[in-house]
Structure 1
Amino acid sequence: MNSLWRVLILLPLANCALDSRGTHFLIAFLDNFTKRQDISPEIFITTASNTPVHVHVTSPGTSNPHVNQSFVVSRGIVHQLTVSPDFRLNHTEMSHKAIEITANKDIVVYGVNREVHSDDGYLALPTDVLGSEYYTISYAPSYHYCVFAVIATENNTHVAIKLPSHRNVSVSYRHHTYHRNQWINVTMNRYDTFQISSVGDLTGSHVISDYPVGVISGNKKTIVGNTGNSRDHLTEMLLPIRAWGKNFVTVPIPERNVGDIFRFVASQDNTEVNITGKINGTLFSEHFIIRHAGSHAQKMYSSFLYSHVVASKPIALYEFSVTQNRHENSDPSLITVPPIEQYATDYTFTTPKYSLGQYQNYFMFVTDAKHKGGLLLDGHRLPHEQKYVHIPGTHLVGGYISIAEGTHTVSHSNPSTTIGAILFGKANRESYGFPIGLLMAPINSGCRTHAMTIGDEIDNDCDGEVDEEHCDGKDSDGDGRIDEDCMGEEITSSLVG
């Protein structure tokens, strides 16, 4: 392979927040299954700003299809924008269908790719946190193709894609057919979108570029598990490898009984994974090794398992909602489980709409056990009867709560307390799920210790965690040092819930 592909561009670590909020986004929509009608893909945009934010959405790379809209959003207001179904990518193709979103202040963007009984959504990532190395995720058997797409942010971007080693991987592009373990090399310009489609499992496809790119990955439409025959679209915008973590908490898909499927994708060879958890109060543990970078382990766990996942090297963790059975409404969706290292302190988000009515929506959360009473949803504490499950080996609890359709905020009475947050919705033969926000610190790109500013969202002590200390004069993270990497504001008794 040419040495060019071995060069990874690593963005410099700035003294500002790197997270899923931003002022510039490039997004796209994967191939989806249409049968009776084309429903327009949707973009949901909101902000935490108390003052008006001016937003412009356009498609500089294509005049047909085309979008060109400007509008204003502010805190508590969500703008829903539909775009032509022709923006969806089609099989394996190079096109120019990137949608550009710009704003004069930070916004939050979600993409929802919705057809009748074929729907999923993703948290869009701003261009300032994109990377140059990814491993992709799909589910197999694919039924209607595994897919992923690369979005170019700069002209003359050289992209090398190594297909995974799974059987039946076959990609046809420009009169050539590529098989497992083969490289596909392309040059892309800004706003180009390159989708790859295969019947074989594309999980672990290795994407390397010499400029930052966005990657969206999933399935055109698939059955997940063996609980039924209905199928659904899967999509997520992927974290670059430099933002992967080693510590995770899993919360089960709400109000299901058939189990959840997880895929663990390794970034390095010989990655050990240890899982400890509780299933209805009973302790659970498991240990396994993923032998090769880009390889994955697939596990199916109880619908009542809350767990702590610890990996010896950075991994990506994905949770799949399985196909519904005749006793419960829900269907496949693909969810990125945020690393604990990338939890943020507050979020603003909105719920998508069901193609045939309304979803039953859930906020799935992880927060500090001692201060769980300070968790605020729309400015209010959770109900007194809220169930919390302690996560073994951590200071954290997990849970979920049903929420109404619309725009919501999540925060904590102590602004230094971080929160893991996922949005999930289910209906008859449809589901969606995605993290509502997260930090995007490049915690795996090499680290140098920094002088600390409280709440700077930098891994100041190079331990793989960001702002993990409570600034309270104690060794909060047990590393023998005091207040060396503090979160938010100093803890005072008046702030603790």
Structure 2
Amino acid sequence: QTHYISVIVHNHDIGNFMLDGEIVPRSSFFFIASSGFSSASLTITPGTHTTKSFTAGHGITVFGISDDGSYGYPAGAQFEMLNQARDNQPPICFQIASDDNTVLVGVTDEQTEDTNIDGILQESEDVNGNGILDEDTGIGSAFLNYSPYVPGALTLSRSFTLGDSSAIFSVTRTPNFEAVASVVVYDLADNFCSVEIEFRGPTPAPTPAPVPLTFSPSAVGEIEKDTAGNEFYLSFLRNFDHDLDEANAVELYLSSPTLAVVNVEFPVGSFYASRTLVAGETTVLTLPTNSSLGWVPGFFVQSNSIRVYAEQPQLEFDVYMVNYANLTTDASLALPVDALGSKYVIIDSANSVDLVTVAPPEFVVTAVYDNTLVTITPSEALVTTGLDTFTVTLNRGQSYYGSPQATFGRVDDVTLSGTIIDATMPVAVTNGVLCGEVPTGVIYCDHVFEMAVPVEAWSTFYLAAALPLRPLGSVYRLVAYEAGTGFSISTTDGESQSGTLNRGEHWDSGELTGDIIIVADKPVFAVQLMTGVDRASTGDPSMVNLVSPEQFVYHHTFATVTNITETYVSIICSNEDVGNMTLDGSVIPAWQFSAITTTGYSSAVLPISSGTHMTESVSAGHGITVAGYRNYESYLYSGGFKYFGDSLFQPRIGRGKKWLDSHNW
């Protein structure tokens, strides 16, 4: 057998390089193009050999050849581990919820420097300046450290798959064991994050009863509020985690009339991202999916909400919320802090019993001020608390997530509509259904949610345009806050219904065709519910808040939802604006509008292309509803609105009774 050594050396070492203590002649080396290195192939005897260079390191390969076979191997090397995954960003760790003996820790690792999702690294995207488009690798491992250490006193559950973009870990203590602990989570590129938790003392005392705020009447004034704002506290609801053809996407659609810099915290208090808004354009910001999937039923206090705010103190912008998953999607207009209230009534779509255990009705209450006492009177037995009225204390950014108990043996539908929220200070509320049927029992279910409107913004008069692609009509649900609330609902197709609701009761219309007129003798709130695909050829259940004509505004900037391509805008405007209304700067022809009986308003339903759009009216404000469809999913959301509310936290009941006389209720 013949043995050889192949050597690659730096050109400066030619004439100095040594094999077994002897200099290798220059004539043995050949330049490797213009690389600055040269190579040599040398015959060696059986046994042990040594090589040495002086100016720079060198590499060797040893091999042998005979009639019966061959071998080859490289020599050792000095190297630096390179992050081939291009992940220089650590995961994000945060505490979600806690009770006496358990703390839940959330982790997300789904960041990317490719903020505009074009696959190209822009200079503004290169956060760490490494010239590489960095992507996160997903969760790799998790560890628990605590002091004082007693084996088994604290345990960490780790239920995740390598590479997951988000996960929830729970740390549980043996009763009354006191310790300071740290949960450390690594991604697959060995970046890590940690969160400190603390267990102290025995079971805490029950939450004290709320102490109502009192105000001097002279200090309370009525001011105009609207849905554009400087600061928002937002909570998405749980959606199905399909993990099918398309991943879940939790998104904010942001728009501003002027150039603005907007910051996002998730969870509240932890910086997540910053975006620059260009006037007249919509900016989409993607949040960790854990902002939707991270809620845990039965935990009183959780930290899984989002804060969005402008750096310029006086600047106002609009926010829309989109919770997208393959086959279950919906959207909602967001309400800013200065448009929130302290009293709400939950409204959702009912679900059949066989779906409730996997796709329940749900709501989230989020505090925007510290020491907010929230009293909840449920219409359905909730996880942990049942049907009892209870009070939970929330600090800024903390939330309560509500969902119903299991419903085995029930034969009626399950809904949380009519659940009453009464807080000592303004709170943000989101309500809906993880996957709701409309009507119940009609296939298929779809994610349904809206940001709830406070009682002080309710009205006694609502209009709704018939939804496109729904030949059998839509369902309407009403809730009341005051006992003995009378109402009527009529359609442009000649149908009418009426009834009376007590405090916390709800009413469903059944499927109605045509445009809708709702009139009440006391303020109510109403939503429009899109029916399941079995009632049409495309789309599935969605929910949208109705807006009273007295709350219409003159201008809307809105955008279609990515991945859903068939979209319509429904417009309701004053008859005086028919022939003057514009969409994207072009006048909408008068013939496309139809009068809504004798209300003084008309409606039009128009197909629109994907992207950002604007509507404007001249004589009076107008309202819009955006509807998107794709196969077995859809979304609905309303445009912005305004209302008159109190300048302080004093709750009151909505206005609008002037409509009663003119509409002959």
Q: TM-score, normalised by structure 1?
A: 0.81
The question of whether the paired residues in 1 share the 8 Å contact of 2:466 and 2:516 is answered with no
Deviation of residue 265 (structure 1)?
Answer: 0.6
In the alignment, what sits opposite 1:351? 560
Deviation at 1:301, TM superposition (A): 3.2
SS in 2 for 1:18: strand
Residue 339 (structure 1) shift: 1.5
Give the superposition deviation at 1:189: 0.7
Given the alignment, which residue of 244, 250, 262 partners 1:41? Answer: 250
Out of 474, 482, 500, which is 1:289 matched to? 500
Distance 2:368 2:257 in 1: 26
SS in 1 for 2:383: strand
Deviation of residue 98 (structure 1)?
1.7
3-state DSSP class of the match of 2:475?
strand
For 1:293, the aligned partner's letter is R
2:614 match: 409
* 1:178 equivalent in alignment to 2:386: yes
Once the two structures are overlaid, the 10-residue window that deviates more, 366-375 or 148-157, is: 366-375
Corresponding residue for residue 158 of structure 1: 373
Q: Distance in 1 between matches of 2:610 and 2:369?
A: 37
Change (3 A) 1:275 1:170: closer
Using the TM superposition, give the Cα deviation of residue 91 of structure 1 relative to its aligned residue in structure 2, in angstroms: 4.0
Which structure ranks higher in relative contact order (CA pairs < 8 Å, sequence separation ≥ 6)?
A: 1
What is the CA deviation profile of residues 407-426 of structure 1, one whole-angstrom value per residue up to 9, with x for unaligned ones?
111111x2x41102111111
Is residue 2:243 matched to residue 1:32? Answer: no
- Aligned twin of 1:125: 335
- Which residues in structure 2 correspond to 1:101-112 (within 5 Å)? 101-103=308-310, 104=312, 105-112=315-322
Q: Offset at 1:251? A: 1.0
Partner of 2:288 in structure 1? 84
1:203 is paired with a residue of what secondary structure? coil
CA distance in 1, matches of 2:432, 2:381: 16
Match of 1:482 in 2: none
Q: Indicate the SS of the match to 1:417.
A: coil
User: What residue number does 1:145 align with?
Assistant: 360
Instruction: Report the counterpart of residue 488 of structure 2 in structure 1.
Output: 274
Kindly tell me: are residues 289 and 7 of structure 1, through their superposed partners in 2, closer, same or farther at Cα, counting changes over 3 Å? Answer: farther
Matched residue, 2:534: 325
User: Compared with structure 1, are the counterparts of its residues 163 and 7 closer, same or farther at alpha carbon in structure 2 (3 Å cutoff)?
Assistant: farther
Question: 1:60, CA displacement in angstroms?
Answer: 5.2
The aligned residue for residue 485 of structure 1 is none
Note closer, same or farther for the CA distance 1:343–1:68 as it changes in structure 2 (3 Å cut): same
CA distance in 1, matches of 2:656, 2:234: 32
Segment drifting more, 237-246 vs 141-150: 141-150
> CA, structure 1 residues 326+22, in 2 after alignment: closer, same or farther (shift >3 Å)?
closer
Measure the CA separation in 2 of the matches of 1:276 and 1:215. 29
8 Å Cα contact 1:245/1:340 also seen in 2: no
* CA distance in 1 between partners of 2:399 and 2:383 (Å): 16
Q: 1:202 pairs with 394, 412, 416, which one?
A: 416
Query: CA 1:221/1:478 → structure 2, altered by over 3 Å: closer, same or farther?
Result: closer
Specify the code of the residue in structure 1 equivalent to 2:338. Answer: D
- The verdict on how the C-alpha distance between 1:327 and 1:102 changes in structure 2, with shifts beyond 3 A counting, is closer
Three-state SS of the structure 2 residue aligned to 1:338 is coil
Separation in 2 of the partners of 1:141 and 1:315?
Answer: 22
SS at match of 1:341: helix
Number of the residue aligned with 1:442? 645
Amino acid of the structure 2 residue aligned with 1:393: T
Q: Give ranges in structure 2 of 5+ residues lacking alignment.
A: 1-206, 407-413
- Alpha carbons 1:8, 1:132 under 8 Å: kept: no
Name 1:433's counterpart in structure 2.
Answer: 636
Which residue in the other structure is 1:99 paired with?
306
Larger Rg: 2
Instruction: Give the deviation of 1:8 after TM superposition.
Output: 8.0
Distance in 2 (CA, whole Å) between partners of 1:463 and 1:225 is: 30
Q: Which moved more, 1:427-436 or 1:85-94?
A: 85-94
1:459-470 equivalence runs, <5 A: 464=657
Report the counterpart of residue 189 of structure 1 in structure 2: 395
* Deviating more after overlay: 80-89 vs 145-154: 80-89
| Matches of 1:250 and 1:294, distance apart in 2 | 23
- TM-fit CA distance, 1:272: 1.0
Q: Of residues 190, 212, 217 in structure 1, which corresponds to 2:426?
A: 212
Contact 2:477/2:527, CA 8 A, preserved across alignment: yes
Q: What is the CA-CA distance between 1:134 and the residue it aligns to?
A: 0.2
User: Following TM superposition, by how much is the alpha carbon of 1:48 offset from its aligned partner in structure 2, in angstroms?
Assistant: 2.2
Partner of 2:582: 376
Structure 2: distance between partners of 1:344 and 1:155: 33
- Letter paired with 1:242: E
Runs of 4+ in structure 1 over 3 Å off: 1-15, 60-63, 443-447, 462-465
Please name the residue that 2:141 is paired with. none
Equivalent pair of 1:5/1:160 in contact (CA under 8 Å):
no
Using the alignment, how far apart are the partners of 2:473 and 2:296 within structure 1? Answer: 31
- Residue 106 of structure 1 deviates from its aligned partner by 1.1
Q: Deviations over 1:220-255 (max 9, x none)?
A: 112211584221101100110000000011211112
Cα deviation code 1:198-231 (max 9, x no counterpart):
1531101100111100000000112211584221
CA RMSD of superposed structures (Å): 2.7
Is the CA contact 1:151–1:194 (under 8 Å) kept in the aligned structure 2? yes
User: Contact 2:231–2:307 (CA<8 Å) still a contact in 1?
Assistant: yes
Distance 1:86 1:314 in 2: 36
Letter in 2 for 1:71: R
1:264 pairs, out of 453, 458, 478, with 478
Paired residue secondary structure (1:106) = coil
- Structure 1, unmatched stretches of 5+, are 448-458, 469-476, 480-497
| Inter-CA distance 8–311: structure 2 relative to 1 (3 Å threshold) | farther
Please tell me the residue identity of whatever aligns with 2:446.
D
Residue 623 of structure 2 corresponds to: 420
Which range moved further: 2-11 or 227-236?
Answer: 2-11
After superposition, the Cα gap between the structure-2 partners of 1:219 and 1:327, relative to the gap in structure 1 and judged at 3 Å, is closer
SS in 1 for 2:550: helix
Q: Between the two proteins, what is the percent identity of the paired residues?
A: 25
Deviation (angstroms), 1:384:
5.6
Q: Of residues 427, 437, 442 in structure 2, which corresponds to 1:223? A: 437
Q: 3-state SS of the aligned residue for 2:316? A: strand
- Kindly state the Cα deviation for residue 378 of structure 1 after the two structures are TM-superposed: 1.1
Amino acid at match of 1:145: P
SS at match of 1:440: strand
CA contact (8 A) 1:265 1:294 kept: yes
Structure 2 partner of 1:367: 573
Match of 2:594 in 1: 389
CA contact (8 A) 1:96 1:193 kept: yes
Which AA in structure 1 matches 2:550? Answer: E
Residues 252/62 of structure 1: CA separation in 2 closer, same or farther (3 Å cut): same
